[in-house]
Each structure stands twice: as C-alpha cells, then as structure tokens.
C-alpha cells in the first residue's frame, strides 16, 4: 500500500466497516507499506486488527535462536475475503496499480472475484496467518479469541449457504479452489502450476512479467511441446519496474523455450503485472500473485485461485475463460515478438551478472531455512 489516494479510500472503508461491527483484519508486508499512519491508528481504534509481516523482524528472531533466517520470505499475497466473496489476483493497493478512475493506471493487472464461494479454507488462511504472527503482538492477539472469532464466522456461513453450494455444484461444472504458498511447508500454488502443465494436451497460455529460469517449470513446458505437441504461448513484459528483473533481456530469458517451439510476445509500452496460466481452453486456469521466478516458487508467501472445468465446451466457454481470452488477445495485439538478436551491452551484462549472483544467493538462503 502506498500513501496516496486509493490507499486512503481503502483504509477509510475498512474503518467504516469496523465501526459497523465487521471483523476487519488487514495483513500487510511491512517493507512495502507506506499508508497514512493516522488512518491505520484510526482503523485499529475502530476495532480493526493490523498485522505487519516483516522479514527483518523474523530474521532477528531466528538469528537469536540460532536458526536459518527466512529473510527473503516476503508476503507477496494479494487476497481479500469479504463475507463469502474471495478477491484474488495481482493487484496492489497503490495509485500506480489502480485504474485511471482512482489512480495512475501505470500497471496492467488481472484479478478474479469468486462470489458466494465455500471459503472456509480462505478463512483458515487468514486465521493461521494471524496466529502465526501472534508472537509479535503478545498484548493484542490471543489465540483462543482468534479461533473463537473464526469458528463463529464458519458456523454462520455453513448454515446459511450449505444448501446453495449443493445446488450450485450440480449446475456449474467449474470449481474454484483457493491455493496458498508458504514455503517450505505449503507449496500449493507452484505445485498446481506444475501439475496443470503436466496435464496439458493442446495448449498452454501464460501471462508472466517477472521471469527467471525455473528449471523444473521450463523442463515441463518443453516436455509438453516435444512429446505431446502442446502449443505454448507466453506474454511477458519488455519493461520491468523492479531492479532485479530490469536488466534481463527476454531474448536471453526465453532462449531455451523458444528453441523448442514456444511463441513469446513482449508488452513494450506499459508495465505488465498480470500472472496467469491457462491450459487446454480453460480446463485449468490459475491466476494470482505467483511470479515465474525462484522467489515465488521457493521463498515467498503467495496466493492463487485455481479454476477447474472438466467439461470444456468450446461452444459454451465459461465467463472466466472468455474474459481471460479477451485480455490475452488484446495484449497480443499490442505486443511484439521477442527479438532473438537483442544482446546485452557491456554494462548491461555486468549489471545482469550481479543480479544473477544476488538471486542465486537469495535462493539458497531462502531454501535453507
């Protein structure tokens, strides 16, 4: 969250909800949290709970207990649960990520809302995260109180919607599943991405701006192309906002995949922030916060939604798949094919080598905890 317009509006709405008696929990990555401190205090005074995940704080705790520190484990999830509606995707609460109505519209994001969804798993996701951070808030978080609060919420929605879900499951073959990634214990998101690529028979479409060479993923994509004739299309970014990714050339990043038949497009004009993988005309579709890099796959906390449609009907595609294809095709029209002739300048090569070493070190530290 930044300190500008959209963050202020969001905090104000959360405060108003807390005043109405709504249980409000705001969990943020403290290293990228620049929202107005007065508004945060007002939210807490209204009854909201603000939990700040800070890897340096955890680093210190682990250092004092002589354990390996998870200093590269960032809270990269973007999830909102409002009653039984789940919002998940790539959007940060900041002006540069917001539409021109509320912000600057610099980034392109992709998000999904699952309405009236059996979201106990998502509630447990928030419950577990709050309890996991209780050690940093000894006077504020009591585990029993948190469990009692979430148990009451679970009972309410189970009674209210259990009949609806039974009816809805028969009518709608598409099933939405919430996935979380808290390495090394839970790796649902990266596992789901790898698993649906293994299942691909016809096509794989990927939107991914932040890319590193994740060997396990690339090998599965090559296997799909070589052994099963799967068509792989990737839309990535030409310009990237993060220094660690900015020095990489797509001609270098995608050389291996392109040599086996992948078609790679790059968005040259705007920052791309979408992250999605769609397999076989919407049989499997996942989107959320997961980047195609070693931080997301092995270090960060991530969250995605996986949609499964076992009964794909080309004449009656689902709304989610139709919307994705509109986004995907619109991006392709604005993109250009990656130019294999592009080379690093001498200074660019030095900068890129530095960041490759940095990423390798962070990977081994992150994997070692």
pLDDT along the chain (369 residues), means of 10: 89 96 89 88 93 64 48 83 90 85 82 82 86 73 84 74 50 74 87 96 97 94 98 96 90 96 94 96 95 89 92 87 95 94 93 90 66
Q: Which CATH architecture group holds 174-358?
A: 2-Layer Sandwich (3.30)
Q: Which residues have C-beta within 8 Å of that of residue 219, sequence separation ≥ 6?
A: none
Residue 10: per-residue pLDDT: 94
Alpha-carbon distance of 291 to 315, in angstroms, equals: 32
Alpha-carbon distance of 290 to 300, in angstroms, equals: 9
Alpha-carbon distance of 112 to 323, in angstroms, equals: 10
Supply φ then ψ for residue 269, to 5 degrees.
-110, -35
Query: Domain-by-domain residue ranges, the chain?
Result: 174-358
Residue 104: per-residue pLDDT: 77
Q: Calculate the CA 197 to chain-centre distance.
A: 18
pTM: 0.88
3-state secondary structure the chain: CCCCHHHHHHHHHHHHHHHCCCCCEEEEEHHHCCCCHHHHHHHHHCCCEEEEECHHHHHHHHHHCCCCCCCCCCECCCEEEECCEEEEECCCCCHHHCCCCCCCCCEECCEEEECCCCCHHHHHHHHHHHHHCHHHCCCCCCHHHHHHHHHHHHHHHHHHHHHHHHHHHHHCCEEEEEEEEECCCEEHHHHHHHHHHHHCCCEEEEECCCECCCHHHHHHHHHHHHHHCCEEEEEEECCCCCHHHHCCCHHHHCHHHHHCCCEEEEECCCEECCCEEEECCCCEEEEECCCECHHHHHCCEEEEEEEEECCCCCCCCCHHHHHHHHHHHHHHHHCEECCCCCCCCHHHHHHHHHHHHHHHHHHHHHHHC
- Locate 171 and state its tokens: 């009518």
Alpha-carbon distance of 232 to 205, in angstroms, equals: 6
Alpha-carbon distance of 76 to 255, in angstroms, equals: 28
Residue 132: per-residue pLDDT: 78
């Amino acid at each position: 969250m930044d300190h500008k317009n959209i963050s202020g509006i969001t905090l104000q709405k959360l405060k108003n909800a807390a005043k109405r008696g709504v249980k409000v929990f705001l969990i943020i990555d403290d290293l990228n949290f620049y929202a107005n401190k007065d508004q945060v205090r007002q939210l807490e005074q209204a009854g909201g709970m603000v939990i700040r995940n800070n890897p340096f704080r955890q680093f210190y705790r682990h250092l004092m207990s002589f354990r390996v520190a998870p200093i590269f484990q960032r809270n990269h999830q973007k999830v909102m649960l409002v009653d039984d509606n789940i919002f998940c995707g790539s959007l940060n609460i900041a002006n540069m990520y917001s539409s021109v109505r509320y912000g600057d519209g610099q980034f392109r994001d992709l998000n999904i809302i699952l309405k009236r969804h059996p979201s106990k798993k998502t509630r447990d996701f928030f419950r577990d995260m709050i309890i996991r951070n209780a050690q940093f808030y000894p006077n504020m978080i009591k585990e029993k109180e948190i469990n009692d609060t979430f148990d009451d919420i679970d009972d309410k929605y189970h009674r209210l919607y259990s009949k609806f879900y039974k009816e809805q499951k028969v009518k709608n073959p598409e099933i939405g599943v919430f996935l979380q990634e808290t390495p090394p214990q839970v790796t649902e998101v990266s596992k789901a991405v790898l698993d649906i690529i293994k299942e691909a028979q016809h096509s794989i479409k990927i939107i991914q701006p932040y890319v590193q060479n994740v060997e396990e993923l690339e090998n599965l994509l090559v296997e799909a192309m070589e052994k099963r004739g799967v068509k792989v299309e990737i839309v990535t970014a030409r310009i990237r906002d993060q220094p660690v990714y900015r020095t990489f050339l797509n001609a270098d990043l995608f050389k291996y995949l392109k040599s086996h038949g992948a078609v790679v497009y790059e968005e040259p004009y705007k920052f791309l922030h979408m992250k999605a993988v769609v397999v076989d005309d919407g049989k499997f579709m996942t989107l959320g916060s997961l980047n195609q890099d070693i931080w997301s796959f092995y270090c960060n906390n991530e969250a995605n939604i996986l949609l499964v449609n076992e009964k794909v009907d080309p004449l009656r595609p689902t709304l989610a798949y139709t919307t994705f294809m509109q986004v995907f095709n619109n991006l392709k029209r604005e993109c250009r094919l990656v130019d294999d002739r592009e080379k690093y300048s001498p200074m660019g090569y030095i900068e890129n080598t530095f960041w490759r070493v940095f990423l390798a070190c962070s990977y081994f530290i992150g994997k070692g905890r």
